[in-house]
Amino acid sequence: DAGVIQSPRHEVTEMGQEVTLRCKPISGHNSLFWYRQTMMRGLELLIYFNNNVPIDDSGMPEDRFSAKMPNASFSTLKIQPSEPRDSAVYFCASCRDRGRMKLFFGSGTQLSVL
């Protein structure tokens, strides 16, 4: 089992540029989560999908953020335009049973917006 796979591991971009983060969940897991981690606020949920359908996007900070899950094995989180305050580590996680919420996390994408 390869676990949750995220790419890229690191992304450095300039303010105003579009950023796309990618995630492949564990096969057979039907729930997918995008989290953002900062020193000040810790881990915060951005958006959650169940069976490829967005269920709760109340954590998405602004309209600059969007997420898609076109199929069960792929999801993207896009920031357009990016701003320095978006700098953080972005994690994707998946689970088989959303009732139990035993999440498996990827290794994250370290985003730096200059």
Interface with other proteins (CB under 8 A): 4, 31, 41-45, 48, 50, 55-56, 91, 93, 98-108
81: preceding bond cis by omega (within 30 degrees): yes
Place of tokens 């949750």: 4
Q: How far is the CB of 38 from other proteins (least distance, A)?
A: 10
Place of tokens 């730096």: 112
In the complex with other proteins, which residue's Cβ is closer, 34 or 79?
A: 34
Residues 6 or more apart whose CB falls under 8 angstroms from that of 40 comprise none
C-alpha Rg value of the chain to the nearest Å: 13
Q: How far is the CB of 33 from other proteins (least distance, A)?
A: 8
In the complex with other proteins, which residue's Cβ is closer, 57 or 81?
A: 57
Q: How far is the CB of 41 from other proteins (least distance, A)?
A: 8
Measuring CA to CA, which residue among 51, 77, 50 is closest to residue 64?
77
In the complex with other proteins, which residue's Cβ is closer, 83 or 97?
A: 97
Q: How far is the CB of 102 from other proteins (least distance, A)?
A: 6
Partner residues linked to 48 by β-bridges: 33, 56
In the complex with other proteins, which residue's Cβ is closer, 3 or 16?
A: 3
